[in-house]
Amino acid sequence: MKQTLLLFAVLSTTALSGCSGSAPYVRTVGELQPGMRMELRVAGAQVEAYAPLPKQPTQAYTIEATALAALPPPPSIVPDARGIVVNAPSRLADLLVRVPPGVDLVVRSAGGDIDVSNVGGNADLATRRGSIHALLDGYAQARVGVGNITATMGALAWPGTLHFHVDKGDVTLFVAANAQFHVHMQTAHGTIFTNYGLRGTSKGTSERIDGVIGKANGQGISIVVRNGSIRLLRMMPQA
């Protein structure tokens, strides 16, 4: 709780007027400590998440909303014991957030693309309709109703099993070359490709692969697609 009070002692919100269509109409800045998390609850706009700018303090976060039409109400920010919860109820404002290193990101969207690039923490992402693109130093899991998931994870270790699920669309997952894990991949209508040398089974339009990469040590990856294809790829070191 002491961390939460410190967080909002440095928070400021600025309403911006006279902006162009591509400029944010509201910006909020504050501070989150490593081990905390930022949770976004989004009605359906696009979400973009990045690392802080070089000139910002190390643990600074930023939340910007850009209106797509007439100015909607700004997102609300509520502290909780784990960090902050951002409520963005309007479909008429896209969000750009900057996430400090060591802070986890959670996004729950009713519809809209989610783009997470060069974030230093871990991510748990979900959208009912839209695509997810994630490039992380840590680990991720993601769920999409209709749309695609493309994720690149730099982590070698994570707790338990990471889940990737799509009802209609494709999943492409890149994993660090030295990561060890057990894997389950299954598609009801589609194909599976991997460069890990695993073999699977097929029946009609469905395919399934179960296997172990290295010693696993209790961590795993599960990729389930109802209608679409799966690609699980080992990231090879640069020459």
For 152-189, the pLDDT digits (tens) are: 999 999 999 999 999 999 999 999 999 999 999 999 99
Give the pLDDT score at 69: 76
Asked if pLDDT for residue 230 goes beyond 60, the answer is yes
Asked if pLDDT for residue 9 goes beyond 60, the answer is no
User: H/E element holding 206?
Assistant: strand 206-213
Give the residue extent of every domain in the chain: 1-138, 155-239
d(CA 109, CA 95): 11
Asked if pLDDT for residue 208 goes beyond 60, the answer is yes
The model's pLDDT over 48-79, given as tens digits with 9 standing for 90+, comes to 999 999 999 999 999 999 988 778 888 999 99
Q: Residue 26 — φ and ψ, nearest 5°? A: -150, 140
The model's pLDDT over 81-129, given as tens digits with 9 standing for 90+, comes to 999 999 998 888 899 999 999 999 999 999 999 999 999 899 999 999 9
The separation between CA 85 and the C-alpha centre of its own chain, rounded to angstroms, equals: 15
R_g of the chain computed on alpha carbons? 19
Q: What is the pTM of this model?
A: 0.89
Give the pLDDT score at 14: 55
- Give, as one character, the DSSP assignment of residue 40: E
